[in-house]
Structures are given as structure tokens and as C-alpha cells.
């Protein structure tokens, strides 16, 4: 009886295993079928119906993750993406990124700089590149050079012309940087990028990048300003190197480190650094703005060379402004915990991720967190650029990581909750709010020809009439999530995570 029961149990177990395998195989076949259908649909033109098909000049395939706002300069488009669509005779896809130079008129690629995934950086305590987002830094253009914060924790200076005018140094190891072995027979061609210099933030300043190296560098005079991308460890328990600088300054010609902030923001940081530095002028004085991972907006004097030789200088702080109200940080004598992916909460403080904007001597900044942390309370602050004092603020705007838009005295502000607001930029008066039916964290609003374009994470593009009265013009479906569009020379360049469209503006 015991043997029979055992045999029966084994039989049932084997049968259950076969059923489980069949279910798994069916699921895999279903996923494959869905993937095939999605890919087939993606191969078709996915132009939003707000645009006319006859106005489409060209479209190109990008990757699967694309978060850079295209930069257009003298007939070329510079854009970063991941390497899923990489086509290179020698370099293989690794889950890394590509910086591409495209012909503005046709979208054809002029050169590309593959940047393989930095595998060493995936080991503890590092926690970046795991999402394979590729290049997440919009290039800063300066003459025949362009600069990005690379996805491997470095800052790169590249030749605008790629290898077309030769391999300009001092950096000359492009093939190794692209992941090819030292003895590779591959020879660089005009279709390859040209790195002039590289600054490794991991080895040079001890930065521990977190999630993505997602800020864009600033060129001011002869110097480059960039966030160090420093952040938490791989377990999200502590900041791995709280003493690493948060804002650094490099000589734009040589890549030499010349200055850094001395604020020790890492000791107060919530999660990481992703905000981009901004330069502005107030009463004839230049200032550098930096949104910290501690939720504080800092204003620094620009770096000025001194007689200290090669010694690194400390940037002089002019003022700081806490964009988190006191009751976001503490309640009943206790600190309010920061929200986490494993403990989502709408409560508590947030960092500054969006790039602050400046208009008529006023700075506008929001606070926010990674979309993975969920929706939560935010704050929109209007700050006097000269003094760092509050002019007005609004709690209507929830967590936001997008750049705001100001046009004709109106401030347009979306948030992760999916609300789109219109304010009087000077007084803070709230004119209207529109429910976008989906969160917004990839595409900032843009005003073009009296219309406001805003897109959601649910692949929907809304077009509203710019003005104090809310008026919806259209609602269109996109093939993939849109990134902030750019208008140049009468052409509307719409990047999505999978494609880049060039659309002739129809102003009729």
C-alpha cells in the first residue's frame, strides 16, 4: 500500500510538472506572439494623428530606451539612446548606449560613438546601468566640441565631426573604449566617434553613480560644470561615499578637475543626483545653480582661476534655498521617512531632479523622486535669483522631475500624478488644471505656435491651447513614450523611446 501510494504521488507530481511546463511554454509562446505583434506594429509609422502624414519629413528607429533631448546645431542632430539598434561592423550590443550625430535634413547617421555597458560598475556598492537606459545626457555644444555625462560614470569631450577629420587627442583609445580588444584588427572610420578627453568620476573623485548618470553638462566660459551622479549603494541603505563632491568643474579644453562644491550634500542626500546645473545672470553677476539630492537649491559663484596652481578650489556658495517645506521633513518632532521603491509613500521630503529654469530674475524649481517610488506631495517654488528668498510657492504640483515651461508670462507645470497646471509666473495665481489620465515624467511641456504639447507615460500626447483659459485641442496615441520635443527651423522634432520623427510645422 505504501509503495502504491508513493508511485501514485510520483505520478501525480510528474503529471503536475508536465502541466506546469506546458503552461510555461504556452506563456512563452504567448509572450513571443505579443512581442512579434508589438514589433510589427512598431515597424509601421506611429505618427500621432495630431500631425498630418504629408508633413512627416522622415523618421528613424532609435532603441528601446531614449531619454535625451536632441541638440541641433549647424545641420546636425546629436542624440543619445541605448544600443539595442546598434549597427556597427565590429562592436556588439552590451546593453550600453550610443551617442549619434545625424543629418538634420534626412536623419541619416553621420557617425556614432558606442559606449558599452560598464560591467565593473554593476558590482556592489554600485547600482547603475541595470536598466540599460544608455546615454541619458543631452550634449552641451561648444564650437567643434560636444560634451556629455557618459552612462559609465565619466564625462566625455567629443569632436563634433567624429573621425572625419582624424583622431584628435589626447585620447586615442576609442576602439578599446568601444569594447574591442587591444589586438582588434578593426580600424576607425569616418562613421565612428572621436573622444578628445575623458574624465572618470568613479576613479577621480570617488563618485558612486546610482541608477543612471542622467544629468547634462553646462559650459560656462572656459569651464564645464556637471553633477557627479553620486548616490546610494546597491541596497538602497546608505550613500556609499557621502564625501564625494556633488558638483564638479572641469577645464573644458583638457578635462582637468579645477573645482568642486564643498557642501557635503552626500551626507544629507536622499537617493541620488540627477539635476543639471544652470547658469544665469543677476544684476550683472553670473551665478551657477544646482539642484541637490537633498532637496536644496544652491547658488554658487562661477569658478575663477587663482594662483593656487593645480590645487582644486572649492566653489563659493552665494545662497541656498530648501525647496521642501519644513512640514515635509519633520512632524511631531520626528523626521518623516523618505519614500522608497519598497515602501511607497506620498509623504515626506523629495530631492530636486528637474533642471531649474530662470525667467526675469526668478528661479522656478520643483521637487520629485524616481517614478518607481510612486506619486506623492510636491512643491513648486518661485525664488528670487538675487537673494535666494521665496517669492511664491504652490503645493498644487505633486512630485515632478520635468523641466517647466514659461511662455507669455504663463508657467506650465506637469507632475507625476498626471495633472497639468497653468500658473501666472509672476504672481503664482493658478489658472487651470487638466487631468492627463497618466503620469508625466519623460516629456516636458513645449509651447509651439500658440499650442502646448505634453505627453504621458501611457503613450498619449495632449495638445492644449496656450492661455489662461483651458482648451483641449487634441488627444493622440503614440507608438511609444515621448521625450521632450524640439522645434528648429520650422521643423517639429519628436523623439520617443523608439523613434525620432521630423515633422514640418503646419501653421495654417
> 367-416: per-residue pLDDT in tens?
999 999 999 999 999 999 999 999 999 999 999 999 999 999 999 999 99
- HSE-CB at 485 with a 13 A cutoff on CA atoms is 26
In this prediction, residue 506 has a pLDDT band, given cuts at 50, 70 and 90, of confident
pLDDT of residue 306: 82
- HSE-CB at 368 with a 13 A cutoff on CA atoms is 30
In this prediction, residue 17 has a pLDDT band, given cuts at 50, 70 and 90, of very low
> 124-161: per-residue pLDDT in tens?
899 988 889 999 999 999 999 999 999 999 999 999 99
Q: Are 288 and 316 in contact (CB under 8 A)?
A: no
**Length of the chain, in residues:** 508
In this prediction, residue 45 has a pLDDT band, given cuts at 50, 70 and 90, of low
The CA distance from 155 to 139, in Å, is 11
Is 86 domain-assigned?
Answer: no
258: phi then psi, degrees, rounded to nearest 5? -115, -20
Is 67 domain-assigned?
Answer: no
- HSE-CB at 439 with a 13 A cutoff on CA atoms is 17
CATH code, 404: 2.40.10.480
pTM of the model: 0.90
29: phi then psi, degrees, rounded to nearest 5? -65, -40
Is 359 domain-assigned?
Answer: yes
* Mean local confidence (pLDDT), 211-224: 96
Candidates 451, 328, 320; CA nearest to 378 is 328
Is 418 domain-assigned?
Answer: yes
Number of domains in the chain: 1
Q: Are 350 and 340 in contact (CB under 8 A)?
A: no
pLDDT of residue 48: 80
In this prediction, residue 3 has a pLDDT band, given cuts at 50, 70 and 90, of very low
| Residues whose CB falls within 8 Å of the CB of residue 31, separated by 6 or more in sequence, listed in order | none
Candidates 90, 82, 76, 109; CA nearest to 188 is 90
> 177-194: per-residue pLDDT in tens?
999 999 999 999 999 999
Is 297 domain-assigned?
Answer: no
Q: Which domain holds residue 352?
A: 324-426
In this prediction, residue 39 has a pLDDT band, given cuts at 50, 70 and 90, of very low
Is 130 domain-assigned?
Answer: no
The CA distance from 497 to 132, in Å, is 13
Q: Which of 46-55, 428-437, 464-473 has the lowest mean pLDDT?
A: 46-55
Q: Are 279 and 224 in contact (CB under 8 A)?
A: no
Q: Which of 40-54, 214-228, 274-288 has the lowest mean pLDDT?
A: 40-54
H or E, element range at 460: strand 460-465
The CA distance from 501 to 99, in Å, is 17
| Residues whose CB falls within 8 Å of the CB of residue 412, separated by 6 or more in sequence, listed in order | 404, 405, 406, 420, 421, 422, 445, 447, 452, 454
pLDDT of residue 47: 84
Is 114 domain-assigned?
Answer: no
* The three grid cell numbers given for residue 235, joined into one nine-digit string: 541596497
pLDDT of residue 8: 38
Q: Are 461 and 476 in contact (CB under 8 A)?
A: yes
* The three grid cell numbers given for residue 400, joined into one nine-digit string: 515632478
Is 96 domain-assigned?
Answer: no
Place of cell 504639447: 453
Strand partners, 296: 322
The CA distance from 488 to 505, in Å, is 10
Strand partners, 432: 422
> 87-106: per-residue pLDDT in tens?
999 999 999 999 999 999 99
Beta-strand relationship, 127-128 and 210-211: parallel
In this prediction, residue 36 has a pLDDT band, given cuts at 50, 70 and 90, of very low
| Residues whose CB falls within 8 Å of the CB of residue 215, separated by 6 or more in sequence, listed in order | 137, 149, 226, 227, 229, 273, 274, 275, 276, 277
pLDDT of residue 50: 86
- HSE-CB at 94 with a 13 A cutoff on CA atoms is 20
Amino acid at each position: 500500500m505504501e509503495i502504491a501510494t508513493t508511485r501514485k504521488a510520483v505520478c501525480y507530481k510528474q503529471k503536475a510538472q508536465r502541466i506546469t511546463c506546458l503552461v510555461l511554454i504556452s506563456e512563452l509562446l504567448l509572450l513571443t506572439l505579443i512581442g512579434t505583434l508589438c514589433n510589427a506594429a512598431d515597424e509601421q509609422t506611429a505618427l500621432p494623428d495630431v500631425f498630418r502624414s504629408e508633413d512627416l519629413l522622415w523618421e528613424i528607429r532609435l532603441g528601446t530606451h531614449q531619454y535625451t533631448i536632441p541638440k541641433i546645431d549647424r545641420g546636425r542632430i546629436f542624440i543619445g539612446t541605448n544600443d539595442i539598434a546598434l549597427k556597427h561592423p565590429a562592436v556588439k550590443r552590451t546593453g550600453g548606449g550610443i551617442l549619434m550625430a545625424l543629418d538634420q535634413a534626412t536623419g541619416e547617421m553621420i557617425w556614432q560613438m558606442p559606449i558599452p555597458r560598464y560591467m565593473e560598475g554593476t558590482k556592489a556598492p554600485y547600482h547603475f546601468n541595470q536598466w540599460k537606459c544608455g546615454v541619458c545626457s543631452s550634449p552641451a555644444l561648444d564650437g567643434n566640441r560636444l560634451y556629455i555625462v557618459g552612462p559609465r560614470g565619466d564625462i566625455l569631450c567629443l569632436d563634433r565631426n567624429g573621425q572625419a577629420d582624424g583622431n584628435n587627442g589626447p585620447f586615442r583609445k576609442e576602439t578599446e573604449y568601444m569594447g574591442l580588444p587591444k589586438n582588434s584588427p578593426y580600424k576607425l572610420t569616418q562613421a565612428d566617434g572621436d573622444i578628445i578627453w575623458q574624465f572618470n568620476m568613479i576613479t577621480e573623485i570617488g563618485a558612486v553613480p546610482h541608477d543612471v548618470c542622467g544629468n547634462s553638462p553646462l559650459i560656462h566660459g572656459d569651464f564645464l560644470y556637471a553633477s557627479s551622479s553620486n548616490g546610494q549603494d546597491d541596497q538602497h541603505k546608505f550613500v556609499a561615499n557621502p564625501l564625494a563632491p556633488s558638483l564638479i568643474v572641469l577645464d573644458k579644453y583638457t578635462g582637468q578637475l579645477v573645482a568642486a562644491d564643498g557642501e557635503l550634500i552626500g551626507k544629507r542626500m536622499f537617493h541620488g543626483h540627477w539635476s543639471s546645473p544652470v547658469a544665469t545672470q543677476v544684476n550683472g553677476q553670473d551665478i551657477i545653480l544646482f539642484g541637490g539630492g537633498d532637496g536644496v537649491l544652491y547658488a554658487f559663484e562661477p569658478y575663477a582661476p587663482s594662483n593656487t596652481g593645480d590645487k582644486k578650489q572649492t566653489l563659493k556658495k552665494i545662497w541656498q534655498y530648501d525647496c521642501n517645506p519644513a512640514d515635509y521633513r519633520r512632524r511631531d518632532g520626528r523626521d518623516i521617512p523618505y519614500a522608497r521603491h519598497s515602501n511607497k509613500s506620498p509623504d515626506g521630503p523629495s530631492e530636486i531632479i528637474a533642471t531649474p529654469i530662470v525667467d526675469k530674475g526668478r528661479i522656478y524649481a520643483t521637487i520629485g523622486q524616481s517614478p518607481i517610488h510612486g506619486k506623492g506631495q510636491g512643491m513648486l517654488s518661485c525664488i528670487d535669483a538675487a537673494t535666494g528668498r521665496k517669492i511664491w510657492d504652490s503645493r498644487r504640483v505633486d512630485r515632478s522631475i520635468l523641466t517647466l515651461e514659461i511662455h507669455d508670462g504663463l508657467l506650465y507645470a506637469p507632475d507625476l500624478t498626471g495633472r497639468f497646471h497653468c500658473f501666472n509666473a509672476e504672481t503664482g495665481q493658478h489658472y487651470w488644471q487638466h487631468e492627463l489620465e497618466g503620469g508625466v515624467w519623460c516629456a516636458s511641456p513645449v509651447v509651439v505656435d500658440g499650442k502646448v504639447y505634453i505627453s504621458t507615460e501611457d503613450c498619449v500626447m495632449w495638445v492644449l491651447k496656450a492661455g489662461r483659459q483651458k482648451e483641449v485641442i487634441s488627444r493622440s496615441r503614440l507608438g511609444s513614450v515621448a521625450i521632450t520635443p524640439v522645434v528648429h527651423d520650422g521643423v517639429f522634432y519628436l523623439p520617443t523611446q523608439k523613434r525620432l520623427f521630423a515633422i514640418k510645422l503646419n501653421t495654417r
